[in-house]
Amino acid sequence: MYKVRTSDFVILTEVLRKSEEIKPTQHAKRMVFEKHRILGTNADRKLTAVYYKIMKRLGIIDRIIRELVGVHQNILDPWLRAALRVTIEFLVFEKRFIKKLDLEKTRKAVADFLSGTTHPYVGMFYYEIFDKIREYELKPKNELEELELKYLLPAWYIRKMKELLGDEAEELLKAFNREPMISIRVNRLKASVEEVLEELRRMGKDVIVSKIVPTVLKFEGPFDFDRSKAYRRGKFVIQEEAAALASILLDPKPGETVVDLCAAPGGKTIHMAELMGNKGIIHAFDVDELRIRRMEELIGRCGVRIVRIYRKDARTAPRILGKEIADRVMVDAPCTSDGTLMKNPELRWRIREEKIPDIAELQYQLLKTAIELAKPGGRILYCTCSMFKEENEEVVKRILDKREDVELIPLRGYYSEGFLKGTIRAFPHRHGTIGFFYALLRKL
């Protein structure tokens, strides 16, 4: 069993604070672990597991904070909020790990860290509330709290998944709480699958080659990407199997004009450039400056030469490029992203049911934009990493019901049929990848 150290409380507090500022959260974690020189070590593996547990329990932990402090957690100093979350995880949920830990030393060390990092009053507050956390006993007050504790998900989300899948929903909810494998896709512009496999095996990794996307490789973490020459040289990128399938389904050809409407951070953009043999042009739209910077770095590292980036709202693309100019359009639409909960556990407590209709309306507008951009005969792939029908089948059905200039090209195989005939879905519990939805359309 891993021996928890006082310094682990401080390291995880830094990770939680950074993860509120930097996305994806895995990047924030990597930055802090590198600072403390534990990246790729046994401590990395153990603290990563604790970090994901905190993220999975975040809504429950925050409810405990509200009970103990008497105010909403978001009102608190962000460093104090992070420290309380870490302390509750260890003292309430992970008591077996701290049996030999000097708790008084830990209390003083974290309080001193907070005093030096933010303000002495914050350190004093933490010091005083520490005993309340030690004495706290978790007792669900009602059936909803029992469900949330069992599945580590909001009660409304559990209800929605049961409406979607019936009794099978329990398997999906369990899958969201399993630690995922690392998934990468080989960039064939620079390397072969065998070349990357060889490096990973030299690093001691037992690698699984995807049967759905043969350039996708999966292996257990942790993995220090900065130590990998193949990664630094752009020979592979971090990408899930289900995400990689999207570009294959759209099937862009060398010399074609492609529009990627929600492109950053660029995984699908680069994959399409690879499938096109770096011939043709990809117009890539996004509004997020930080994600665009990451896309630019990734494009350069992977040897892609055919991408033109626009920091613009994708809905303006027809005004910028003109109508009916694209052979293929990728609409990897912004969504709740709940299909990625096993990889991004903090999302589970940030998703709001009342926001789903607004997201679905944006998705509908983006799909309308894609139809304007497509040439007659051109193809459009609409996909999301959401599990909700409202963001998937219902968006596509709304388009098909309202427009006569587009038809559904039936997709079969790969994963499971969607809830609209001719669409497909990847389910985490059935297929061992993130949740994903795909619909392929043709402009008439």
Query: Which residues are the active-site residues?
Result: 385
The residues near 406 (Cβ < 8 Å, ≥ 6 apart) are 371, 380, 399, 400, 441, 442, 443, 444
CA distance 351 to 169: 18
Q: How far is CA 189 from the centre of its chain?
A: 25
H or E segment to which residue 374 belongs: strand 374-384
Helix 120-135 with 103-117: angle, nearest 10 deg: 150
The three-state secondary structure class of 304 is: coil
- Which one, of 18, 40, 444, 5, lies nearest residue 222 by Cα? 40
Q: What does 187-207 look like in DSSP terms, one character per residue?
A: -TTT--HHHHHHHHHHTT---
- Do residues 278 and 190 lie in contact, with contact meaning Cβ atoms separated by under 8 Å? no
- Do residues 392 and 386 lie in contact, with contact meaning Cβ atoms separated by under 8 Å? yes
